[in-house]
Structure 1
């Protein structure tokens, strides 16, 4: 008589709950969203101060330049400190620093330009050190299987903020002064400081680590170990430096001169944000078989924005070009962040993430500074055409780098 095998009685693993139901991630998401809202709000609120003659155009330019300088200096420091100590500790200190400096801007406006500029630089330092820390903290709080959904949720909150916040802030401005609006952004920085949970990794203050410069160089070496990372960063930086900077400078001119209305300017930016929202929703669940190549192809879609501005097309085509650009940016961003969190040594993730933000965001002001003179000397046709070509060509060219097909060092060109 043949014995029949008994069915297994071991319980199957419980289904993995959505990251949106995880209290630890929700606390992280709340802190990250508050940080993003505070970062976005400062230039908008300072713009309101110019409208109310509390600040002059020259003063707001100085304040924003000081904040950008603080950000660029602090990003590499934040990466090193995140890896040396703890991501949670850096988020706490950074948020508290920005929260303390923001009221100084409110008090100093119209009284002391030097004081407000120094305070704006400190806010930039808090913003810069927070960026790599939140990237590393996501790895500690969310398991790998749910990390892409987590990154999509984080970027979705950023896009909702940019879509909804201008109208909300303008509404608040009807009943609150600029100084009170600045104090609200200080409160948002406090939420960023205290909301996130403690991560899984312990404080590494006792470990032997190199100095700040040596630590950052160690992060550069780790980035070079993943050929897909510098390749993808080159593509992203090209799109930001030439594509995004060009459209930022030229769109207002095209809206005024070709279409004779500010509606095209507002509509294009709204469509870009709406496209990015749609892209974040799509990538929360979509898992393409060649995720790196798909992400780079999506990034190249930004080329449709300068192309739409180049051609004498109806305004609806401009809106469609910007919507495609927005979708493409998020279909790149989320897999890019997720792959970096997966592939990079967790001990060095803060430094590699800081390199990402430093290069991509750091080159944006350079692009903005160069595009204006280029338009004056070469004309909008040459500048827009070159920008569109670069947005398409560079992401296509970097697919030849090893590992770009899957954004992984363990996969060659053929995956």
Structure 2
């Protein structure tokens, strides 16, 4: 994985991930030092999410229509220019700037995902995707302390300007891909082109089944992690230990899947996704902090045993000229449902009780991947040589 082009791509994606993660943390520090109100924080983060969700499908279409490298460049430049503005204006101006940052973030995600398939050869993509997710997890583990340390030296305005520099790295550093966009005299509308990506996704039953399972797990298990854990952990120490355990488990999972090639990779990945059910289950059974921490380690391992083969299979099986659009559908569904689940789980707990909601979340997390595994092509996340009688697309 020491190829120069991949290292440039990896560094650019890492910079974009760090900038994405840093914004809510830095704004949280601004709330602590009374320069930003909690209500304003919610508005700014909500507008960033809206910008992201609007830009993801558009970015997918543009990354298939034009050069993926060009889409990364302009998306990063947009986010870089808007990031410092968040620090210098009123709340309405901050919200607009955050929305623009969200647009840059959303537009670059499918382009980055498709660029991996252009820069990395087929046989090395699983290790490449594992390296990508390792950078995300290391950032999540190390960056809070580093950012808090920097906050003792500079104010939050300079930290926000620093995220703009990270976006510049994300924009300028990645290499050019190998694919050339097909020349067309006329182009259909964006909606029509995105719909073409949806049709391509529907050609792959394993993808639709896996995406449905992922959506169900995010809507329930992720919400339990984000809302129920702080409510039920009992102390800051247990909360911090559980979240750290999740990240440590994800690091371990990425290291495992970088080299492990299960015979039935789709089933193995879906089994990993089902491990998310242990998060709400550990809060339900109340067997002590050690069980909660162990469950979150297992959850972290499982999510990367799913993520890496999932991305690799998508890059392998989907037609190259439609890869960014299919990836944007993936991000749109998974990221789009996350805020909705987070908003609904606390009222659901108030209405139906903790036991019923956590039990329901656990059952869905275990059952949804099992249902997806019933789809024949889910066994291998693609057409197997045995079942199709023809080689897989490379």
- Check if 1:403 corresponds to 2:377: yes
Count of residues in correspondence between the two structures: 389
1:83-122 to structure 2, matched below 5 A, reads 83-108=64-89, 112-122=90-100
Give the RMSD, CA atoms, in angstroms: 1.3
- Check if 1:74 corresponds to 2:48: no
What residue is the counterpart of 2:172 in the other structure?
A: 194
Structure 1 residue aligned with 2:276, among 296, 302, 321? 302
If the length of structure 1 is used for normalisation, what is the TM-score?
0.92
What is the CA-CA distance between 1:35 and the residue it aligns to? 0.3
Q: Is the 8 A contact 1:403 1:411 kept in 2?
A: no
Bigger Rg, structure 1 or 2: 1
Structure 2 residue aligned with 1:151, among 129, 136, 144? 129
If the length of structure 2 is used for normalisation, what is the TM-score?
0.97
Counterpart CA distance in 1 for 2:180 and 2:205 is 30
- Measured against aligned partners, the alpha-carbon deviations of 1:105-145 in whole angstroms (never above 9, x if no partner) come to 1111xxx1111100000000000001100001001100001
Counterpart CA distance in 1 for 2:198 and 2:314 is 14
- Check if 1:347 corresponds to 2:325: no
Structure 2 counterpart SS, 1:342: helix
- Check if 1:334 corresponds to 2:312: no
Counterpart CA distance in 2 for 1:180 and 1:70 is 23
User: Where does structure 2 lack aligned partners over 5 or more consecutive residues?
Assistant: 390-394
- Which deviates further from its counterpart, 264-273 or 237-246? 237-246
What residue is the counterpart of 1:16 in the other structure?
A: none
What residue is the counterpart of 1:280 in the other structure?
A: 254
What residue is the counterpart of 1:52 in the other structure?
A: 33
What is the CA-CA distance between 1:410 and the residue it aligns to? 4.3
Structure 2 residue aligned with 1:381, among 322, 347, 355? 355
Structure 1 residue aligned with 2:162, among 163, 184, 191? 184
What is the CA-CA distance between 1:397 and the residue it aligns to? 1.0
Counterpart CA distance in 2 for 1:325 and 1:132 is 25
Counterpart CA distance in 2 for 1:54 and 1:402 is 55
Structure 1 residue aligned with 2:13, among 9, 32, 48? 32
What is the CA-CA distance between 1:249 and the residue it aligns to? 0.8
Counterpart CA distance in 2 for 1:231 and 1:356 is 12
Counterpart CA distance in 1 for 2:61 and 2:383 is 23
- Check if 1:227 corresponds to 2:227: no
Q: Is the 8 A contact 2:50 2:102 kept in 1?
A: yes
Counterpart CA distance in 2 for 1:77 and 1:174 is 39
What is the CA-CA distance between 1:329 and the residue it aligns to? 0.2
What is the CA-CA distance between 1:209 and the residue it aligns to? 3.5
Counterpart CA distance in 2 for 1:413 and 1:320 is 39
- Which deviates further from its counterpart, 245-254 or 196-205? 196-205
Structure 2 counterpart SS, 1:403: helix
Whose helix fraction is larger, Structure 1's or Structure 2's?
2
Change in CA separation of 1:59 and 1:377 when aligned onto 2, cut-off 3 Å:
same
Q: Is the 8 A contact 1:50 1:56 kept in 2?
A: yes
Counterpart CA distance in 1 for 2:182 and 2:88 is 38
What is the CA-CA distance between 1:208 and the residue it aligns to? 4.5
- Check if 1:240 corresponds to 2:245: no
What is the CA-CA distance between 1:204 and the residue it aligns to? 4.0
Counterpart CA distance in 2 for 1:80 and 1:184 is 30
Counterpart CA distance in 2 for 1:263 and 1:28 is 37
Counterpart CA distance in 2 for 1:78 and 1:201 is 17
Counterpart CA distance in 2 for 1:385 and 1:414 is 40
- Measured against aligned partners, the alpha-carbon deviations of 1:352-399 in whole angstroms (never above 9, x if no partner) come to 000000001100111111111100011111111110111001101111
What is the CA-CA distance between 1:400 and the residue it aligns to? 1.2
Q: Is the 8 A contact 2:224 2:279 kept in 1?
A: no
Q: Is the 8 A contact 2:224 2:358 kept in 1?
A: yes
- Measured against aligned partners, the alpha-carbon deviations of 1:11-55 in whole angstroms (never above 9, x if no partner) come to xxxxxxxx2x10000000000000000000000000011111111
What is the CA-CA distance between 1:203 and the residue it aligns to? 4.1
- Check if 1:135 corresponds to 2:116: no
